[in-house]
Chain A
């Protein structure tokens, strides 16, 4: 009977549109729901123009809450509404992405529900009807398998980009179920005052498909312009090691590693980064790793698919020049 309970994923809206993590979550959820023979649900708080796309990416059903109070993300109203819904529908699994929203909503929600929450999972499967959650800890040196035997829902966050959305299937349809929460649940103690977008090349590093990252070997803040230029040509974003951030060459928001961000791009190009354990912890989930470093013994080469022993300050300008030539057909 419990096997019939729904598998939930938490959609995320940015700028009035569904963010791609909403589809990635359906890709995670689809295989779990299929093994459990349970319906897969996407829960959407707030308004987005493209809700039916959730079905095309794998959802069987959408719970949609539309209310002007939900226009801006405020953690307390999000949690109150979700708590109401969880108590009403009793899902067996509830997954969100480990974005700043997911990593805020889920820890506040699970504590109020008194259930289990596992952060930053890189693997999910069903074992004997329960969710087996795999997550790295201690800088990726340990992988832990975690289960929640008794409490429901079993809650977890998964790293953004750790799974691609399913191929879009325009024939898939489903039901959008509106949910009206209590007025009191929509109230927030917080007041939204505004948003200041960051002006720099590319997407935030957590969202980037390609990251060009620099370390001490970049030798100075002005050489980071090379990384900006290369990232621009590749459609990627610029990351940095802790040393580069501490030296003031790059903003803290671009720091990759244990005391920075964990990133999972398709391609990670490490430029003049030696590869301290703490740095490797933040990027070893990348699909492909390239490294350029003058020190042939640098640990970064141990995790690189392709390493070049040489000077970034000689190699980068050449790469930029060649990429510009090869993209001459694409006008700016």
Chain B
């Protein structure tokens, strides 16, 4: 028995990072031909939801994303992993949303979709890397926000979690409903089965647009975003360092390394 009936998983589609190449002359990421994928850290949130569903089969898991219409691929992937259904929140009105405007749209969509007992999200997306949308959605829905969750167990009317913080793990319990931001440590996401992929491909995906939400226009999109990007630069990350060969002069190379190590040694108080 658990108090858990409905779970939502927030996912995001991002450019695939596995094959990202940087143009060495300009330092610009070469986006041409880049494929998209589900944000790798979101896979852990999906996996956790699916594991809960395996434990308590009457749970319904809904994967929700916001993005272009083609972001349905992300929720289809979540279904392929074992989620029950998918929702894509998409509208031109959302274009240019910062993390707050995104969280407003997502939280309004979640409200519209019904009352979830648990909302799961990944730690952060590998493109924007803010890690703000998950916690903001929980905040706007007035839920307890559990971050850096490395372990999660569901009881009758509460959630026991562990949080990976600097220097160790903290144990907390929270009532339902709650929002949990899970980290990589929590599980290893499964690969999709053939049957799962087929189900993902065939599922009807629910599309929500701005008109379906109960929020004012000035709360979303560019105009609803308090932060403005005023300039974007592509920094050169390369350094002009010295390169030595251990094969040619082992002692010399070790000596150079030692010099730097000794200069940077931290005084340890025993």
A binds B: yes
B136 with A111: CB separation less than 8 A? yes
Closest to A308 in B: B253
Interface residues on B, range: 35 or more
A182 contacts chain B at the CB level, 8 A cutoff = no
Whether B160 lies near A193 (C-beta < 8 A) is yes
A285: nearest residue on chain B (CB-CB)?
B237
Q: Are B168 and A198 in contact (CB under 8 A)?
A: yes
User: Which B residue's beta carbon lies closest to that of A208?
Assistant: B266
Also in contact, A75 and B264, with CB within 8 A (given A305-B241, A309-B245): no
Q: Kindly state whether residue A302 has any CB partner on chain B within 8 Å.
A: yes
Interface residues of A in 290-308 (CB under 8 A from B): 290, 292, 296, 301-308
Q: Which A residues touch B247, using CB under 8 A? A: 309-310
**B136 with A323: CB separation less than 8 A:** no
Which of A55-63, A114-122, A219-227 interfaces with chain B? A114-122
Which residues of the other chain, A, contact B140 by a CB distance below 8 angstroms? 111-112
Main SS at interface, chain A = mixed
Please determine whether B256 and A107 come into contact, CB atoms closer than 8 angstroms: no
Bound form: Cα–Cα A216–B216 in Å:
52
Q: Are B164 and A306 in contact (CB under 8 A)?
A: no
| Cβ–Cβ contact B258 & A107, under 8 A | no
B194 within 8 A of A: no
Contact B241 A210, beta carbon cutoff 8 Å: no
Encoded as 1 (CB less than 8 Å from any B CB) or 0, chain A from 250 to 264 comes to 011101001110000
Asked if B215 is at the interface (CB within 8 A of a chain A CB), the reply is no
A189 within 8 A of partner (CB)? yes
Contact of A146 among B169, B184, B228 (CB under 8 A): B228
Contacts of A120 in B (CB 8 A): 129-130
- A299-332 toward B: CB 8 Å interface, digit per residue (1/0)? 0011111111111001100110011001000001
Instruction: Name the residue in A138, A258, A289 with the highest tally of chain B Cβ atoms < 10 Å from its Cβ.
Output: A138
Question: In the complex, A318→B239 CA distance in Å?
Answer: 26
Query: Is B171 touching A138 in the complex (CB atoms < 8 A)?
Result: no
Assess whether A194 is in contact with B171, with CB atoms less than 8 Å apart.
yes
Question: Is there an interface contact between A315 and B234, defined as CB atoms closer than 8 Å?
Answer: no
Interface of B is mostly: mixed
Give the nearest-CB partner of B226 in chain A: A116
Kindly supply a per-residue 1/0 record for chain B positions 14-25, scoring 1 wherever the CB is within 8 Å of any chain A CB and 0 otherwise.
Answer: 010100111000
- Given known A-B contacts A142-B233, A193-B173, A303-B239, A119 and B260 have beta carbons under 8 A apart: no
B212 CB-CB contact with A under 8 Å: no
Contact: A114 with B29, CB < 8 Å? no
B254 contacts which chain A residues (CB < 8 A)?
315, 318-319, 322
In the complex, A48 has a CB within 8 A of chain B? no
Shortest distance between the CB of A136 and any CB in chain B (Å): 8
Of B49-57, B64-72, B83-91, B97-105, the one contacting chain A is B97-105
Contact residues in B for A243 (Cβ distance below 8 Å): none
CB neighbours (8 Å) of A258 from chain B are: 17, 126, 129
How close is B40's CB to chain A, nearest CB, in angstroms?
5
- Check A140 against B237 for contact (C-beta < 8 Å): yes
B245 touches A107 (CB 8 A): no
Per the bound structure, the CA–CA distance linking A111 and B232 in Å amounts to 25
Known contacts A117-B132, A210-B265, A302-B239; is A147 also within 8 Å of B230 by CB? yes
Residue of B whose beta carbon sits closest to that of A235:
B266
Extra A-B contacts (10), CB below 8 Å, given A190-B174, A303-B237: A119-B131, A120-B129, A149-B228, A255-B184, A267-B261, A278-B126, A304-B239, A305-B260, A310-B253, A319-B261
Instruction: Write 12 A-B pairs (CB below 8 A) sorted by A numbering.
Output: A100-B165, A107-B136, A108-B135, A140-B235, A140-B237, A258-B17, A278-B20, A296-B245, A301-B241, A307-B244, A308-B245, A332-B270
Q: Which 8 A-B pairs have the closest CB atoms?
A: A310-B246, A235-B266, A116-B226, A107-B135, A193-B171, A116-B227, A111-B136, A267-B264
